[in-house]
Amino acid sequence: MHRPEENPAPAIRHRRHLRNTAIAVALGAVMFTVGAVALSPNGPGPRESSTTASATSAQTRGIEGLRARVKRLPKDPVSWADLGLALVQQARTTADQSTYAQAEGALRRSLALQPAENLHAEIGMGALAAARHRFRDALTWARKAVATSPATPASYGVLADAHTQLGQYEEAENAVQKMADLRPDSASLARASYVFELRGETARAKTLMARALRAAGTPGERAFAHTHLSSLALESGDAAAAERQAQAGLAITPRDAGLLEARAKARAAQGETGQAVADYTAAIAAAPLPQYLLGLGELQQSHGNREQAEAQYAVLRAQETLRRATGAPADVDAILFEADHGDPRQAVTMAEAAVRERPFIAVHDAYAWALHRAGRDEEALAEAERALTLGTRSALFRYHRGAIHQALGDTTAALHDLEQALAIDPSFHPLHAPAARAAIRRIDGTP
Amino acid sequence: MKSNSARPRSRRVLNQSLLVLGAGALATGLAAFTLAPGVSSASSHREAPLIAGDPRADNTDVYAYTSLDRPDSVTLLANWIPFEEPNGGPNFYAFGDDLRYNIKIDNNGDGDSDITYTWRFRSSYRDDANQFLYNTGQVTSLNDPDLNFRQVYDLVVTTGGKSTVLLSGVPAAPSRVGPASMPDYAALRNQAVRNVPGGGQTFAGQAEDPFFADLRVFDLLYGGNLSERGQDTLAGYNVNSVALQIPKKALALKGNPGRNPVIGVWSTTDRQGVQVSDSRDKHGDKWKQVSRLGNPLVNEVVVPLKYKDAFNTLNPDQDRTVQPVVDKVLDPILPKLIQQVYGIPAPAAPRRDLFEIYLTGICKACGPIQADLNAHRLNKDANLKKIVPAEELRLNMAVPPTTSPNRYGVLAGDLAGFPNGRRLTDDVIDISLQAVEGAAQTGRLVPALAGGDQVDTNEVPFGTSFPYLALPHTKSVNSGPNAPEKR
């Protein structure tokens, strides 16, 4: 049941003008920040709280404690490395460019103090490279860390993440196995869950993510586990359970962007559009990630709110302009956005570069979709097959392949994929789920 | 700030546009200022946490001593979850249901556990609908309906591969919420102490953290100095403890503490693993040891950083196979740093005295320390061929307890203290500092380090009967002495 917006926005008269303004504002400001990302000195922080000398407690001390510690012990490579890694993990939830720059500064400082066998800095640099989607660099750092300390679980975590994104799934599984054998904690159980999720073994993935939640020792870990328990529930078509999981996470970390997005999706699936919009909006305020912008934009578009959708798309275009200026490889969300709401040929170009850097199934899927939208369905099918090679239970991947089959005139295969997509999650996408239903009706020849 | 009426035209257009977009889009536009592409998480790439805090699994301290009020028994204590803020609501501190908490005893010196005591916890809510409430009213007993969250445990003993459930469904003492909710917490503590079949007592629950230290002394290792000392890093915090008082005959080799008085003690935590890959070796879902602790400060004094993770997974009988750790015992960094900073000459390596303290126990035949104190070799029925160097907290149960313990323990001639076992009042930081400076070998304290960390006692007195731990604090740590108590 679709509920009308609480505060319908007045119509826009100067849409194009607005879009240009938004881009100009975004560009100008980003240039300004990019120009200012030298490692900022840690200003006068709060008084140092009690700390212990052991590195293991570093993660629980929080970033402020670590900042105070490096101020007191500027020659200690371990404290600099721990600060760097903590900043990487914080940046993951805020997507803040300046935090990554600070993280790199702290890690480089650690490596300058101790260039060889600097375990924590090697893990930190690997995590930073992965966060910046430089997965080959991440692999190099992870291997260094493994050589330094063959029994440290976190090194295998970086290794597993990099192998996964590089499409080396068997190596990734072995790294996760090693990590969990060394220490079955929240970090390794979450990765084990992901292995089964990618294989399409959803029940196993849920069980393990629930174990990761039980083992979680920090609010960040609990938020992560709730986020993915929510998405696992949603992707099995259980929107109510998905909302409960997101709600439980938000009770612990109220402004976590990932959890807000999870609740937005769960609410959208249950027809609570107004609340979904509010959650997306809050998520974007916390971390303006392309996936949130696209999620909100397409949700608005599906309800005929072109202006609100266009507002999100304008920011996505500004981000794309920036990306191209920096030459970084495009992300999946940017490719799908370009394919669906921009220039499909441009999306193909983006996807070609992305899949070279990162032959992960989700990138193959985006590449397939870009090719399809550009009318190159034969090639698209090959990529869609690669996206589903692990047997992943993804409604979106299924829908994409189904649409490609349909374009190629293979209605039997199309029907099968489209029905599968809706069986996995009847509300998998605000625009594509209705499209899938319409396509099935057309194939069946029912009016 | 300028008034709105003075805005230039272009600004007005922009503001109007943003106004039209609504607050959400405004936030979007502003937040985009800080987003550069290529450094963002993406829906397709999840960065799971890497270095996790795992405080429920990480051992902090182990104690083992002859009970002063029951000298035929030994008291064993182990702690987890350091730095529990007394005002910890709404998340009070619980043991992990997914963990096994173990105290292990090696009575023949082979580095393997001969007797393992295991605490396994189960959590429940009395009122499932109110899971955010720890208690719904005043709690006057452990089975008070107002206690909403509760944990019970099974106590299991394992010997020779055979496990026996000693007690089932024993209540753990709850986190201390405050005087209004728990007006007589001591009564709750007493109700959580239970007799063990075959003799002895068990306890599990929250307690004041008995460890006292200014941990900044170890910043020497990281370029700090000893100028900042005298502040108890752990003052005011609580921990979660398990405790066991057990007859000596239940622990000694062949049940004979007279002939075989020496035991090695350490504590571990296990969590179940997971089988992920299709490798032929399918033992992934077996329980794995994730944490381990015997001697205090072993991580600070002995184990190099890059081996800390390995050390946590090892059984003591494997310690001697990790040569870099053994090398660090024989040639530690700390005395060299002290020499650099303070000019106190470091004793010559190899440090066979430290090898005794940490790996073999002390005996005249074991090394340079001229005493027969707590080596497994002193057990008359021990097979000398099977004894291996292994990091354990070793206790000679035949040494009578001291009525007024000296905080320096053995170094001050009080043989009932660390490194012969460990009592709650033993000043292990000062003892360890003196030991690395060679005091155990010379028999003399190093005067230049006499101050140690300048924290000599716990901030509150300990109890005189089992479990001896002080009751948990109720005042927020950083609130000063006049802070209002938690309700």
* Whether residue A43 has pLDDT greater than 70: no
Are A403 and A415 spatial neighbours (Cβ–Cβ below 8 Å)? no
Cβ neighbors of A377 (< 8 A, separation 6 or more) are A371, A404, A407, A408
A-B C-beta contacts closer than 8 Å: 326
The answer, for A153 touching chain B at a CB cutoff of 8 Å, is yes
Give mean pLDDT, residues B240-255: 98
- Sorting pLDDT into bands at 50, 70 and 90, what band is A12? very low
Query: Nearest C-alpha of chain A: how many angstroms from B51?
Result: 6
* Whether residue A160 has pLDDT greater than 70: yes
* Whether residue A379 has pLDDT greater than 90: yes
Which tens digit of pLDDT belongs to each residue from A282-329?
Answer: 999 988 889 999 999 999 999 999 999 999 999 999 999 988 988 888
Cβ–Cβ gap A59/B83 under 8 Å: no
* Whether residue A264 has pLDDT greater than 90: yes
Beta bridge partners of B293: B267
Q: Using DSSP bridges, classify how beta strands B59-66 and B99-106 pair: parallel, antiparallel or unpaired.
A: unpaired
Give mean pLDDT, residues B417-444: 94
pLDDT at B24: 34
* Whether residue A100 has pLDDT greater than 70: yes
What is the C-alpha separation between B41 and B123, in angstroms, rounded? Answer: 35
What is the C-alpha separation between B113 and B92, in angstroms, rounded? Answer: 33
Q: Which residue of B has its CA nearest to A151?
A: B310
Mean pLDDT over each residue of chain A, to the nearest integer: 86
Cα distances (Å, whole numbers) of residue A422 to A387, A393, A426, B234 = 18, 11, 4, 56
Beta bridge partners of B106: B264
- Sorting pLDDT into bands at 50, 70 and 90, what band is A63? confident
Instruction: Out of A135-149, A305-319, B40-54, B407-421, pick the least confident.
Output: B40-54
pLDDT at B274: 96
pLDDT at A278: 97
Give mean pLDDT, residues B289-309: 90
Query: Nearest C-alpha of chain A: how many angstroms from B252?
Result: 32
Give mean pLDDT, residues B345-368: 95
pLDDT at A59: 36
Give mean pLDDT, residues B407-431: 96
Residue B218: both structure tokens together: 């170890």
Q: A-chain residues within 8 Å CB-CB of B274?
A: 180, 184, 188-189, 192, 208, 211
Q: Residues 50..109 of A with a Cβ closer than 8 Å to B: which? A: 50-60, 72-76, 78-79, 85, 89, 91-92, 95-98, 100
pLDDT at A42: 24
pLDDT at B44: 66
Q: Residues 193..222 of A with a Cβ closer than 8 Å to B: which? A: 194-196, 208, 211, 214-218, 220-221
Per cent of chain B over pLDDT 90 is 66
Give mean pLDDT, residues A66-79: 91
User: What value, to the nearest 5°, has the Cα angle with vertex B220 and ends B218 and B223?
Assistant: 130
Give mean pLDDT, residues B432-458: 89
Are B146 and B135 spatial neighbours (Cβ–Cβ below 8 Å)? yes
* Whether residue A380 has pLDDT greater than 90: yes
pLDDT at B88: 61
* Whether residue B131 has pLDDT greater than 90: no
Cβ–Cβ gap A326/B36 under 8 Å: yes
pLDDT at A262: 97
* Whether residue A96 has pLDDT greater than 90: no
Mean pLDDT over each residue of chain B, to the nearest integer: 86
Give mean pLDDT, residues B226-248: 90
- Sorting pLDDT into bands at 50, 70 and 90, what band is B127? confident
Are B135 and B147 spatial neighbours (Cβ–Cβ below 8 Å)? yes
DSSP state of B253: G
Which tens digit of pLDDT belongs to each residue from B133-187?
Answer: 888 889 999 999 999 999 999 999 999 999 999 999 999 999 998 888 999 999 9
Cβ neighbors of B342 (< 8 A, separation 6 or more) are B226, B448, B449
Q: Using DSSP bridges, classify how beta strands B238-247 and B73-84 pair: parallel, antiparallel or unpaired.
A: antiparallel
Cα distances (Å, whole numbers) of residue A161 to A149, B87, B228 = 18, 38, 42
- Sorting pLDDT into bands at 50, 70 and 90, what band is B239? very high
Three-state secondary structure call for residue A16: helix
Which tens digit of pLDDT belongs to each residue from B59-76?
Answer: 999 999 999 999 999 999
Q: B-chain residues within 8 Å CB-CB of A119?
A: 305-306
pLDDT at B200: 97
